[in-house]
Amino acid sequence: MKKFMDDDFLLDYESSKILYHEYAKDMPIYDYHCHLSPEEIAGNKQFRNLTEIWLNGDHYKWRAMRANGISEELITGSAIDKEKFDAWAKTMPSCIGNPLYHWTHLELKRYFNIDLPLSEKTGDEIWERCNQLLQQKDFSAREIIKKSNVHVICTTDDPADSLAYHKEIQANESIETAVLPAFRPDKGIEVAQPGFKEYVETLSKAANIEITSYQDLLETFEHRVAYFHEAGCRVSDHGFEHLFYEEATLSEVSAIFDKAIHGHSITLSEENKYKTFTLLHLGKLYHSHGWVMQLHIGATRNNNTKMFKKIGPDAGFDSMNDFELAKPLNQFLNHLDKENELPKTILYNLNPAHNPIIASAAGNFQNEEARGKIQFGSGWWFNDQKEGMIRQMTDLASIGMLSNFVGMVTDSRSFLSYTRHEYFRRILCNVIGGWVHKGEAPDDYELLGQMVQDICYNNAKNYFEITR
């Protein structure tokens, strides 16, 4: 019987251990998609206690606590921080089998040197030990990033953002990590969502461009992409409940925009036409700037309307969607590719049933512009756990090419989430090590070690062409 989460945690074969300890373990981190706060990085935030750095904004943990019968007052309510932490400590033993159990204990081990399983019994000791460390200067936001060996961070930023904190970070020569914005224009694409008109007004003010027509909106997007590019942005990001493809003319889409701005309802077909035309326009724009386009597909959000009204979005009430993906995805990529305006693209799916569709569609549009130009993105959200990662990697390997994979992202709001890269790397090394053990890959560690290091860091570095 192995010790709980020892040095060979998740590594089942001697070959896996060699690949992880000698090749993967010490590679830098390239975190090209996350939700960290640029303000907290610029201000080098010092966290008051473990609840603030660990539980605030973490809807993964919130879902687990609700599933364990914890009162909402102790999750997102007005309970004091220690009470919220105690509720999490009480929940932790019930999380065995959930990735939160491993993530939590990796974070305790790597950042706080604590090797105790978290529970009600150990909660007080862990609370005190962690809080003492969090008061030290080397536990500030930037120091955590530094000790995690993070070379690149791409945050998630609205086109209306001034990027003031990013500029402040970039002006600070003491910050060695490249912290760059990522362009997330969802609010300007979701034409049927409440608040669309108000968002257009917000964007208009931010860009200092009067938006009275759809053409004005497109020109504003162009100006904001140029503004983001000047600030170092090389990545866009989009999130869609399902993928769409319905062609339309500029005049058709302009009329749909006018209807939405004037408060008139639009049909599903009109919505799809607007979103298709707009995303195609943006895709061409990204290509002209040499950006990478990321598409996160398949989250159905805010399903609990009672809690949405009470708490708001991003609070842990989202889930996987199911829908037709293959045809619209291929049509969308083909439209841009046939005009030689398809940017490097990363496709993330939330429903693992879509894995073969994503992997096979990506293979249709590869070319000499880049190794793995169209990427099957890492296991995302409900899939960034052991079985989900194994499925994503093996589906990519069997249908595409694992060697060219750009690897893991934290997709997190927490500065302690960099241990997810360790979790990923251990699983990656065990997948490849398992092939060696079974005679399905040669025991050539120079070859396989390079493959592992490429997936951990080098592929992303070459793919995004972002320097520190």
For 195-247, give the DSSP string. Answer: THHHHHHHHHHHHT----SHHHHHHHHHHHHHHHHHTT--EEEEEESS-----
The alpha carbon of residue 449 and the mean position of all alpha carbons in its chain are separated, in whole angstroms, by 26
Taking only the tens place, the pLDDT of each residue in 49-62 is 999 999 998 999 99
Q: What integer pLDDT is reported at residue 291 of this predicted model? A: 98
Q: What integer pLDDT is reported at residue 121 of this predicted model? A: 98
Q: What integer pLDDT is reported at residue 467 of this predicted model? A: 65
Taking only the tens place, the pLDDT of each residue in 167-191 is 999 999 999 999 999 999 999 999 9
Taking only the tens place, the pLDDT of each residue in 81-101 is 999 999 999 999 999 999 999
Q: What integer pLDDT is reported at residue 31 of this predicted model? A: 97
| Partners of 346 in beta bridges | 294, 375
Q: Which two tokens stand for residue 437?
A: 């053990």
Confidence tier at 315 by pLDDT (50, 70, 90): confident
CA distance 420 to 379: 12
Q: What integer pLDDT is reported at residue 258 of this predicted model? A: 97
Query: What is the average pLDDT across 293-303?
Result: 95
Outline where 339-406 has alpha helix (H).
355-363, 386-399
Q: Is the pTM value of this prediction over 0.75?
A: yes
Question: Dihedral sign, CA of 136, 137, 140, 142?
Answer: negative
CA distance 377 to 390: 13
Q: Which 3 state secondary structure label does DSSP give 23?
A: helix
What is the pLDDT of the chain when averaged over all its residues? 96
Q: Which two tokens stand for residue 336?
A: 């841009």
Q: What integer pLDDT is reported at residue 74 of this predicted model? A: 97
Taking only the tens place, the pLDDT of each residue in 106-131 is 999 999 999 999 999 999 999 999 99
289's enclosing H/E stretch is: helix 268-289
CA distance 29 to 148: 8
Q: What integer pLDDT is reported at residue 314 of this predicted model? A: 85
- Cβ atoms of 466 and 234 within 8 Å: the answer is yes
Taking only the tens place, the pLDDT of each residue in 243-285 is 999 999 999 999 999 999 999 999 999 999 999 999 999 999 9
Q: Which residues contact 462 (CB under 8 A, 6 or more apart)?
A: 371
Give percent above pLDDT 90 in the chain. Answer: 97
105: buried, middle or exposed (CB in 10 Å: 19+, 13-18, 0-12)?
Answer: buried
pLDDT over 90 (residue 1): no
Q: What integer pLDDT is reported at residue 468 of this predicted model? A: 57
Q: What integer pLDDT is reported at residue 466 of this predicted model? A: 83
Nearest to 240 by CA among 150, 306, 309, 332: 332
pLDDT over 90 (residue 215): yes
What letter would DSSP give residue 180? E
Taking only the tens place, the pLDDT of each residue in 386-441 is 999 999 999 999 999 999 999 999 999 999 999 999 999 999 999 999 999 999 99
Q: What integer pLDDT is reported at residue 441 of this predicted model? A: 98
172: buried, middle or exposed (CB in 10 Å: 19+, 13-18, 0-12)?
Answer: middle
CA distance 24 to 458: 11
- Cβ atoms of 68 and 77 within 8 Å: the answer is no
Query: What is the average pLDDT across 133-162?
Result: 97
Q: Which 3 state secondary structure label does DSSP give 381?
A: helix
